[in-house]
Structure 1
Amino acid sequence: MDDELRARIEREIEKHALHNALKHESAAQVGAIMGPLMGENPDFREYGDEIPAIAGPILDSVNDLDQAEQRDRLEALDPAAIEELEAEDETDEHALPDLPNAEDGTVRMRVAPNPNGPWHLGHARMPAVIGSYKERYDGSFICRFDDTDPETKRPDLTAYDQILADIEYLGFEPDRVLRASDRLETYYDHARRLIDAGGAYTCSCGGEEFSELKNAGEACPHRGKDPETVHEEFEAMVDGEYDSGEMVLRVKTDITHKNPALRDWVAFRMIDTPHPREAANEYRCWPMLDFQSGIDDHLTEVTHIIRGIDLQDSAKRQQFVYDYFDWEYPEVVHWGHVQIDEYDVSMSTSTIKERIDAGDLDGWDDPRAPTIRSVKRRGIRGEAIVSAMVDLGTSTSNVDLSMSTVYARNRELIDDETDRRFFVRESVDAYPDGDPEPVSAVTLPIEGGPDTAKPPLHPDHEDRGTREIPVGDAVRLEESDRPAEGERVWLKGFGAVRNEGDRLVATRDGLEVVTDGDVPVVHWVPAAESVPVRMHTMEGVVRGWAEPGLREYEPDDLVQFERVGFARIDGRDGEETVTYFTHP
């Protein structure tokens, strides 16, 4: 690296070390600052092997200062960081705002997924926030599958268990699991009670006809039916005697309400398509979501509801039903949508499914898919996603979540415990929509030096020891790391070598040639005993070679391929080790 870059790296290291020491009121550690440092300065990543050595003396200097001196120095380097620390000192201990009228031990919330497919990443926000509120208030939460639309949002039978697995992956467990399609008789009973209360009527108007009346603020001619007739026609709906679109049950609201969407809304409709669940496929009279959800929220004693700002009308519709039954409506928190960067695929269950069916994606856990199953397979911890989602809060404005934030949180969780290994990339099979940087490898004879290289398992934990890599007669390097004729590189864990006629010859140079910035540090693998690797990334499938010790790891283990990034071991395919790229 040149002098200008090194000076910038040193300045950024000092800034992050000071911030870390002041924030935690303890000595700054290399492992704690590497994630934020690399996250804010992605151009530093290719020097990841060299930075810990640069950081050591700087951290020693920072840790020798008292807090007042650290604060003065940070204010000189980065006044905004001081303001950030002061703001953090003033904030409540909880990242989320208080729930309105919440009492410890009484808060009950719900996630209400439509099981029409596995969850995309946006879905993770609800269980992350609700699970966090449960822990904060010593409350409970319900997972209720709102699966009463067997036609337009047809349930996927595999999604029920997958969604529960996603909630578990995020670190939470529902206190109760319900399927709305098991509760049709409950909804029918409450519809009958609503009819008795004069709050519902059967309507056979065509959709366009009723829409014209509603928009004009005029009552439907069926609105004045006597309760006996309404009961008879509703029972005929329950018995499946009407075809789809022939009859509905409407909640009687205010036909002149200023918001036409609230005027005499549909509570039940006929659907000819059988439900995919065997326990529910005989039913043809199905509740609309606003009716079903409103009834269930009351019966399951939900105290607080979080829903999208676009669903404000749902609470207003349901309030009419609650008024007929003299029920108290739960507290409601509305929030904006969350947008997540880095993905080319829309965060829509139906769109993802279409891409899978078309063969554009290999499945719900394809690394290009913006799904919970995908990030789990890549080795990202659910805790990292929860932390990032909770920090978004519950604002009514739409919010953006950068995946780099998730990566930084995950790096904090895994960096300290993840072994380092060498991986030399040889080729990339790009996805049709991918644009990865090309890579290639070169094999060069090597002479002199030790027979076995002994780089550390983890640069910050010498007590974990070293890994032994037999050198052999030749080594593989990435082509970009090949030294020019007469130039030197430092093979990490081995030492300095010079290119002499496309032969690498060991020199007697000491580590000072690296610390002085004269010789770059590169990773490598032995040509004879290296392990073939296939790594799935968001841009394409990378193939290459890893050091022999990679064979020691089992599926789900994580490693950090030095100067490449973290990866999860997925399995073995013959001699090839299959991995999924986690993040830098």
Structure 2
Amino acid sequence: MDSELRERVERAARTHALLNAVKYESDADVGAVMGPLMGENPDFREHADEIPGVVGGVVADVNALSPEERRAELEELAPAELAEIEAEDEGDEHPLPDLPNVDDDVGVVMRAAPNPNGPWHLGHARMPAVIGTYKERYDGRFICRFDDTDPETKRPDLDAYDAILDAIEFLGFDPDVVIRASDRLETYYDHARKLIDRDGAYTCSCPQGEFSDLKNAGEACPHREKDAATTREEFEAMVDGEYSAGEMVLRVRTDITHKNPALRDWVAFRMIDRPHPRSEAADYRCWPMLDFQSGVDDHLTGVTHIIRGIDLQDSAKRQRFVYDYFDWEYPEVIHWGHVQVDAYDVTLSTSTIKELIDAGELDGWDDPRAPTLASLQRRGIRGEAIVDAMIELGTSTSNVELSMSAIYANNRDLIDDDANRYFFVRSGEAVPVEGGPDAGHPPVHPEHEERGRRDVPVPGAVRIEPADVPAEGERVWLKGFGCVRHVDGRFEYAGDDITAVREEGVPVIHWVPAEGGVPLRLRTMDGDVTGVAEPEISDAAVDDVVQFERVGFARIDGETDGETVAYYTHE
């Protein structure tokens, strides 16, 4: 990388690092800077191997600034962007707008409608976060409805039902009602019969390609003018399983010349030969399409407001034809854009994650490399931190990017006060120690003296990280122990006068005893890291979130094959 390009990278990275730090009132995150940096500067991409190192240095410089210094510099570099951040800060108290047309007599009823084809990834958290928040605001009702009426293309995973309910609980919400659509086939059949009697549907045996050609030409298929009695008879044969997949469908009669071909006589029911994995639904072969099933359920359960992706606008338009036949009032609809999440190499896709697990590239849904709620929970990230970050995204129709640094900042505020401190040395190097006390006594928590101090023994030598080994003759401060000087491959005790740190700039480092430490495996998004922790880590219980000083927060997961296992949370 030549000097001119490096200067451009540093300048752009500094602006984005300052924006990230000021917006989230926390340290900047390299991952959050890399996304917009590379997106706005396509010519940087051919230097993708070198740029993270440059960005890392810039981020470190920005993080060394005080909040006041960051804001002042950002005002010089990007005054318009700073003004936008300040306008957001001065905006409405809550980032979620009020729901439209709320009827005080009816109240607010909203639903999350997951397809249980696997546990939830991070993007799924947005819906329950927003619905749960609106429920609390309006004292409304939260319905969880499993849309599991596709036993073939999006085949349900029997373990996913409970996993999704566990995820909702992890986020801090408790649905008022839980429904499985596969339990309600008879209800959908009854409404199909009523629709047929109202001349709103007809059975069709056209091959799919043939019907598609007719539809796109705005021409009716030969079955469209069937009388209700014939349609009813053929639909009952569908219900009885007398047709195979592809032989017969039930179509909603709409407008065959509608300007949007996707709305022309759409399929309400089709035949599926593959049995549903739930034993209660395994005998059914005639299954409703999602737009029919969901539309009927929204009405019958009293849903007043629906949130769905902007790409699903046609769903509301299709369902309105059914609602018009039944003289039902359609719920209010809010469309929003997709959520994109930084910091992960794995796509936010249930099927993709499942493929990686099946191929052995991920250990499971809670692998720290997986962008799933189970993974975040195992890493020690609280549901509240995720919900707060999701709420901040609002309900814009534009696609939005969720920065993991926002979740980490929220979580840090929640866990920092409770997290006891410990030392953990990665790839440590043993150095003999001459002189000084027999043990170091760093505080359990620097802001809670009442928790006392730890005892970290010094059995003649300490283990430190290779990067912390000072040059010959230089000093370092072993936290909780004192100052030592590096002389001929050993440390000589140099006293405990803290002015060496405060006035002379002697670096403070963490350490563990060379013998008697606890082997520890730290599972991270970048793979496992092994090392040694101080002996008192044995006092930490499973599920405790601790802070390994100068490394980051981690959740204690247990012990395996003689070593403590912890999952890295964040810095």
Give 1:511 deviation, angstroms: 1.1
Q: CA deviation at 1:470?
A: 1.7
Q: Contact conserved, 1:103 with 1:137, CA < 8 A, in 2?
A: no
Report deviation, 1:38. 5.5
Q: Is the contact between residue 188 and residue 296 of structure 2 (CA under 8 Å) also seen in structure 1? A: yes
2:204 is equivalent to residue 203 of structure 1: yes
Residues 30-179 of structure 1 mapped to structure 2, 5 A cutoff? 36-37=26-27, 39=29, 79=75, 83=83, 87=87, 90-103=90-103, 106-179=107-180
Given the superposition, is the C-alpha separation of residues 212 and 573 from structure 1 closer, same or farther in structure 2, using an over 3 Å criterion?
A: same
Is the 8 Å Cα contact of residues 558 and 566 (structure 2) preserved in structure 1?
Answer: yes
Cα distance in 2 for partners of 1:86, 1:156 equals: 45
More relative contact order, 1 or 2 (CA 8 Å, 6+ apart): 1
1:442 matches 2:429: yes
- Preserved CA contact (<8 Å) 1:455 1:492: yes
Where does residue 29 of structure 1 map in the other structure? none
Report the counterpart of residue 301 of structure 1 in structure 2: 302
Quick one: structure 1 residues 38 and 559, their matched pair in 2 at CA, closer, same or farther if it must change by over 3 Å?
farther
Query: How big is the shift at 1:388?
Result: 0.7
Distance 1:288 1:563 in 2: 54
Conserved 8 A contact 1:38-1:44: no
Contact 1:306/1:334 (8 A) holds in 2: yes
Distance 1:548 1:182 in 2: 54
Deviation sequence 1:503-529 (CA, Å, 0-9, x none)? 211012511111124311110001222
Identity of aligned residues (%): 68
* 1:459 partner amino acid: P
Give the SS at the match of 2:26: helix
Compared with structure 1, are the counterparts of its residues 531 and 76 closer, same or farther at alpha carbon in structure 2 (3 Å cutoff)?
A: closer
| Number of aligned residue pairs | 525
Match of 1:537 among 519, 524, 527: 524
Q: CA deviation at 1:484?
A: 2.1
Once the two structures are TM-superposed, the CA of residue 549 in structure 1 deviates from its matched residue by 0.8
C-alpha change, 1:221 and 1:74, in structure 2 (3 Å) is closer
Q: CA deviation at 1:158?
A: 0.2
Is contact 1:444-1:475 (8 Å) kept? Answer: yes
- Aligned position for 2:452: 465
Instruction: State the match for 2:425 in structure 1.
Output: 424
Q: How does 1:51-450 map to 2 (within 5 A)?
A: 79=75, 83=83, 87=87, 90-103=90-103, 106-426=107-427, 441-450=428-437
Do the aligned partners of residues 344 and 38 (structure 1) sit closer, same or farther apart at CA in structure 2, a change above 3 Å counting? closer
Matched residue of 1:230: which SS? Answer: helix
Match of 1:522 in 2: 509
- 2:51 aligns with none
Q: Deviations over 1:433-464 (max 9, x none)?
A: xxxxxxxx211111211112111112233333
Contact 1:122 1:338 in 2 (8 A): yes
Cα pair 1:74 1:82 within 8 Å, conserved: no
- Counterpart of 1:372, as a letter, is L
- Counterpart for residue 64 of structure 1: none
Instruction: List per-residue Cα deviations over 1:288-308 (Å, max 9, x = no partner).
Output: 000000000000000000000
- The Cα offsets for residues 219-263 of structure 1, whole Å up to 9 and x where unpaired, read as 111111111111100000000000100000000000000000000
Residues of 1 paired with 2:168 and 2:380: CA distance?
A: 16
Distance of aligned partners of 1:43 and 1:580 in 2 relative to their CA distance in 1, 3 Å threshold: farther
Find the residue that maps to 1:312 and give its secondary structure: helix
- Between 452-461 and 352-361, the greater mean CA deviation after superposition: 452-461
Once residues 374 and 129 of structure 2 are traced to their aligned partners in structure 1, the CA distance between those partners, rounded to angstroms, is 16
Contact kept in structure 1, 2:423 and 2:533, CA below 8 Å: yes
SS in 2 for 1:37: coil
SS at match of 1:36: coil
Residue 27 (structure 1) aligns with: none
Kindly state the Cα deviation for residue 501 of structure 1 after the two structures are TM-superposed. Answer: 1.6
1:46 touches 1:563 (CA, 8 Å); kept in 2? no
2:140 maps to a residue whose letter is G
Root mean square deviation, CA, Å: 2.6
TM-score, with structure 1 as normaliser = 0.85
Distance 1:74 1:170 in 2: 33
* 3-state SS in 2 of match to 1:485: coil
User: Structure 2 length as normaliser, TM-score?
Assistant: 0.87
Kept after mapping to 2: 8 A contact 1:450/1:494: yes
Q: Read off the aligned partner of 2:422 and give its amino acid letter.
A: R
> Could you tell me how far 1:88 is from its partner in structure 2?
5.1
Question: Structure 1 residues 457, 90: CA separation in 2 closer, same or farther (over 3 Å shift)?
Answer: same
CA positional deviation for 1:485: 2.0
Residue ranges of structure 1 left out of the alignment (5+ in a row): 1-14, 21-32, 60-69, 427-440
| Partner Cα separation in structure 2 for residue 509 and residue 569 of structure 1 | 32
Q: What does residue 480 of structure 1 align with?
A: 467
After the TM superposition, which of the residue ranges 455-464 and 491-500 deviates more from structure 2?
Answer: 455-464
Q: Which residue of 2 aligns with 1:558?
A: 545
SS of match in other structure, 2:417: helix
Contact in 1 for aligned 2:481/2:496 (Cα 8 Å):
no
Listed as ranges, the gaps of 5+ residues in structure 2 are 1-17, 34-55
Q: 2:557 aligns with which of 570, 578, 581?
A: 570
Write the distance in 2 (CA, Å) between the matches of 1:547 and 1:75: 39
Give secondary structure in 2 for the equivalent of 1:416. Answer: coil
Q: Please give the alpha-carbon distance, in whole angstroms, between the structure 2 residues aligned to 1:526 and 1:138.
A: 56
SS at the partner of 1:417?
Answer: coil
Q: Distance in 1 between matches of 2:284 and 2:541?
A: 48
Aligned letter for 1:157? L
Quote the Cα distance in structure 2 between the aligned partners of 1:158 and 1:89: 42
